Structure 1
Amino acid sequence: MDLLCKAYGDVSDEDGEFENLGEGKYKRQRPIPPPKRPCSEGYAPVQSRSPAVVLPAQPPSRYVSKRDRAILSAEATSTPSAALPLPNPPITNVEPPGHLLASASMDQAVYVWNVWNKNQQKVCALRYHNAAGTETQMFKEEQTVEVVRFHPENSSLFLSGGSKGLLRLWDIRVGAVVKEYLKGLGPILDVEFSRDGKTFISSSDTSNSRISENSIILWDVMRQVPLSNQVYAEAYTCTCVRYHPYGSCFIAQSNGNYIAVFSARLPYKLDKYKRYENHGVWGFPVKCNFSMNGQQIASGSSDGCIYLYDYKSSNLLKKIKAFEQPCVDVAFHPTIPDVIASCSWRGEISVFG
C-alpha cells in the first residue's frame, strides 16, 4: 500500500499544484490568480445619477409607506400630457380651385376657359404665332401629331404619336428626339404612360393592315422594344387607352361599342368576363376616363350622352344627356369628384356637377 502511494502519490515539483503534508498525504493548492490590472489614478468612472425626487412635506407624526412613496415619486417625475408641447401640424400644399379648363379645336387654337365665371368664360386663346400666348419652344414633326403625353416622373420628357405611326420621345432640355419606337404601325390614336413611367401603351389604327394584333402594344420606354403586341386580338381599333390610377389594370375604348379591361402585368391578358357596354362608339373618336379615386369610369357616346359605370361591378350608374351630336371626350374634375367636363363633335363644351 505504501509502495502504491509512493508510486502514484509522488508529485513533481514542476506541477506545483499539491502540498506534501507527510505520511503520504497531499493537499491540493489553489492556483494563484493573476494580479489585477491597476486602475489609473486619474480615472474615475462617471455614474449617471437619477434626478432627485422631491416629495411633498409630510407631518412628522405620519408614516409614509413604500407604496405611497412610489405613487408620490411617479406623480412628481411625470409631466401631465396637457403640459407637453404639441408638435407642429404638417404643412399641406392646398391645391388651387380647378376653375380653368383647356380645350383644343380644329381651328389650330387652344382655349382656356373660366368654368365658374359666366360673364367672361374665355380667359385666353393660344394660337400659333399669336401674341395671346408666348411660344417658348417648337418641335418639328413630319407627320400630323395626334396625341401628346408628358412623362409622369420627368416633366422634361413627352411622348408624341402621329398620322404616320411614328412614336417619339422628346426632351425639352435639348429640343430633340431622344428615343424613337418603330413598328410599322398605322396612325396613332392614343398613348398612355404607366404610373412609374417605365412602360407605355399605344393604340393605333389597323384598319388598313391585316395584323389586328398591333392595335394595342405595350412598350418598354428605355429599351424601345415592345413588351407585347398580342394584347387585343379582336378586329376593332381602340380610340382610347387609360391606366387605372391605383390598380394594376388598364382599359381600352373599343370600336366594338364597349370598354375592354386588361391586366397591366405580364402577359397583359384581356378580361373576358368584364366589360362596359351600354354606350356606342360607331367610328367616332370617343374617349373614356377614370375618376380620381378609380371607382368610376366615364365615357362619351355616339348618342351625345355621358355614361357613368361602376368600376368593380361594371354596372351602369348614370346616363346624362349632354349634346345632340356625339360626345367625344369626358374628364373628371381633379378635386371635385362630382364635376365632369365633356365636349361634342360639333365643338361644344359642357360641365356637369
Structure 2
Amino acid sequence: MPQSFGDGLNQAKRHHSVPSGIRPYVPKRQRLATSADTHDPKLSAEQVPGNRAGESQVLLDVSARVKPYLTQKPDAAGIPRRLLMRLGGHQGPVNTVQWCPVPHLSHLLLSASMDRTFKVWDGAESGRCLRVYTCHSGAVRDACWTPCGRHLLTGSFDNTTVITDVETGQQKVKFDNQFKVMCAVLHPSSPDVFLCGGHSSVVNAWDSRSSKMVKTYKAGIQQTLDILFLRGGLDFITTSDCVSRDSADRTLIAWDYQTAAKLSNQIYHERYTCPSLALHPLEDSFVAQTNGNYMAAFSSQQPYRMNKRRRYEGHKVEGYAVQCGFSQDGTILTSGSATGCAHFYDYHTARALHTLRAHSQPCLCVAQHPVLPATAATCDWAGEIKVWH
C-alpha cells in the first residue's frame, strides 16, 4: 500500500474513532504547518522580534501631539500638575526614564528596570509599549539614547554595557567590564565613545567602533555612582559612595578626559554621598544630588567651587538613587524623592515651586519633556511609570 494512502487511512480511522468532546491527535509537522498558516500579523512588536511593522512604529511615526510644537519657538518651562497616563509592565523598580532627544521622536520614552529589561514607550499619546529589549541577564541600572535616536546605551549588573538598535532590538556591540555597571554616559563630542563605572575602583572608556577599551581612570574608590561630562567633553566629574572622616578627596572628582589625570578632588567637603549629577543646559554649572536631603550647585569651571548660597531642600533621598535634572531652558530643577513625590525648584532662587504627589513608592527620576510644555515622566521603586501634564 502507498505510504501516503496509508497515512490518510490511519488519520481517517483516528478521527472516526475519537469520542465527541476530545481533541484528536495532530502530528507535530501538521501542527507547525497550521500555526505558520494562521500567524496573526497584528501581533505587537514586543511579541514578534524583528517585525517590520513594529519597527516602523518605533522610529518612523511622528506623534500628532508633538508635531504642532516642532515648528514653534519653545515656550518657557512649565510645571505639570495632572496625571496624563500610567505605563505599567515592569516587574521591578524602574531606575530611570528618558525622553528621546531627537525632537520629532521625542514622544518615545525609554525606561530601564531591575527586572532585566528596558523598554521604549509611546509616552505622548497611546502609552503603549512599542518594544521590549532583553539584552541583559542582570538588572539594568542605567540607560540613555544616542544623539541620533537610533541606538540605546545600557549598563547592567551582569557586568556588561550594550549598544542596542532601537528598531530591530539587536545588539550592535557588547562590552564586558568585569564589574557591575552603575552608570554609563556618552561623550558629548564623540558619541562613539562612552564611559562606564560601577562596583570597581576604575572607570572605563570604550570606543564602539573598535570595540576596545581606550582609557582607564583609576580613582581608588569603592564604586562609582554617577558620571557627568562637562561642556565640550574635555573634563568630567565622577561621584562615589566613599564616606569616611577624610572622604572629602573622593566624593566628587574632576578628571581630564584626554590624560586621565585628576584635575581636582577638593570639590565637595561634606560627609554625604552624591547618587546623581546633572549639568545645566546653558550656564557653566552643575548640580549634585546628596544624601543630606538637598541638592548642591557647583561651577563647571575650575576650581569647581560650590555655591553655598544655593541649596535645594524639601525632598528625601534616604539612600535611594534619586536623580535630578533640568528643564530645557535651565530655569527649573527637578528631583524625585524617597517619599514618592516629584519636586520642582526655581534654579536661580532655589525656591520650591511645586510638589507633585506622584507615587506611593520612592520616586527615582523626573524627566521633563524636551518639546511638549509642562510635561514630565516619573518612575518609582514599584515599577510604575507615569506621564504628567
Q: TM-score, normalised by structure 1?
A: 0.70
Per the alignment, residue 113 of structure 1 pairs with 121
Task: Determine if the alignment matches structure 1 residue 191 to structure 2 residue 227.
Answer: yes
Q: In structure 2, how many angstroms separate the alpha carbons of the residues matched to 1:247 and 1:150?
A: 20
Deviations 1:164-191 (A, max 9, x none): 1321111011101101100211211110
Q: Which runs of 5+ in 1 are unaligned?
A: 1-91
* Contact persistence 1:258–1:279 (CA under 8 A): yes
Task: Determine if the alignment matches structure 1 residue 140 to structure 2 residue 176.
Answer: yes
Per the alignment, residue 251 of structure 1 pairs with 287
Per the alignment, residue 128 of structure 1 pairs with 135
Q: In structure 1, how many angstroms separate the alpha carbons of the residues matched to 2:343 and 2:189?
A: 31
Task: Determine if the alignment matches structure 1 residue 100 to structure 2 residue 113.
Answer: no
* Contact persistence 2:324–2:366 (CA under 8 A): yes
Per the alignment, residue 48 of structure 1 pairs with none
* Contact persistence 1:304–1:326 (CA under 8 A): yes
* Alpha-carbon RMSD: 2.0
* Contact persistence 1:330–1:343 (CA under 8 A): yes
Q: C-alpha displacement at 1:292, in angstroms?
A: 0.6
Q: What pairs up with 1:68-83 in 2 under 5 angstroms?
A: none
Q: In structure 2, how many angstroms separate the alpha carbons of the residues matched to 1:129 and 1:331?
A: 24
Q: What pairs up with 1:224-235 in 2 under 5 angstroms?
A: 224-235=260-271
Which of 306, 314, 319 pairs up with 1:270? 306
Q: In structure 2, how many angstroms separate the alpha carbons of the residues matched to 1:195 and 1:335?
A: 22
The sequence identity of aligned pairs, in percent, is: 38
Deviating more after overlay: 288-297 vs 99-108: 99-108
Q: In structure 1, how many angstroms separate the alpha carbons of the residues matched to 2:299 and 2:170?
A: 42
Deviating more after overlay: 127-136 vs 204-213: 127-136
* Contact persistence 1:292–1:337 (CA under 8 A): no
Q: In structure 1, how many angstroms separate the alpha carbons of the residues matched to 2:130 and 2:168?
A: 10
Q: C-alpha displacement at 1:116, in angstroms?
A: 3.1
Kindly indicate whether structure 1 or structure 2 has the higher relative contact order, using CA contacts under 8 Å at least 6 residues apart: 2
Deviations 1:16-56 (A, max 9, x none): xxxxxxxxxxxxxxxxxxxxxxxxxxxxxxxxxxxxxxxxx
Query: Could you tell me which amino acid in structure 2 is paired with residue 158 of structure 1?
Result: F
Q: TM-score, normalised by structure 2?
A: 0.64
Structure 1 stretches of 4+ with a deviation exceeding 6 A read 129-132
Q: Which runs of 5+ in 2 are unaligned?
A: 1-72, 74-101, 138-166
Which of 169, 173, 181 pairs up with 2:205? 169
Q: C-alpha displacement at 1:98, in angstroms?
A: 1.7
Q: C-alpha displacement at 1:212, in angstroms?
A: 3.6
* Contact persistence 1:146–1:188 (CA under 8 A): yes
Q: C-alpha displacement at 1:204, in angstroms?
A: 0.7
Per the alignment, residue 344 of structure 2 pairs with 308
Compare CA radii of gyration and give the structure with the larger one.
1
User: Matched residue pairs, number?
Assistant: 260
